[in-house]
Amino acid sequence: GENVEQHPSTLSVQEGDSAVIKCTYSDSASNYFPWYKQELGKRPQLIIDIRSNVGEKKDQRIAVTLNKTAKHFSLHITETQPEDSAVYFCAASKGAGSYQLTFGKGTKLSVIP
């Protein structure tokens, strides 16, 4: 089955700096890659996603890049703010017929004011 590796497990940045979280996946059939943000005790919330026919997607301070050949994708957060502090999970899915998500282990991001 699919295996998703996520690094780093913890990340501390100064407010205003950028943060990058990287994930690799094992199944070349995976074609949908969402990123979720989860605050302590809360539900995971989708922040951005990318499909395999796209190499990069941006939404304000958040961007995701995908390298299908290398089977890795990354989350980039620019101009970080204290409210960005949370655990971020990447995931991969093969889409139609399954739609099951395989999650990475998560990255705890701390933005220091």
* Residues at the contact surface with another protein, assessed by CB under 8 A: 32, 34, 36, 41-46, 49, 51, 89, 93, 95, 99-106
Q: How far is the CB of 78 from another protein (least distance, A)?
A: 24
Q: How far is the CB of 3 from another protein (least distance, A)?
A: 12
Q: What's the CA gap between 113 and 102, in Å, rounded?
A: 33
Nearer to another protein, 58 or 105 (CB): 105
Nearer to another protein, 32 or 71 (CB): 32
- State the virtual CA torsion across 53, 59, 61, 67 in degrees, nearest 10: 0
Nearer to another protein, 27 or 78 (CB): 27
Provide the strand spans (E) within the chain: 4-7, 10-14, 19-25, 32-38, 45-51, 56-59, 62-67, 72-77, 86-92, 102-103, 107-112
Q: How far is the CB of 47 from another protein (least distance, A)?
A: 12
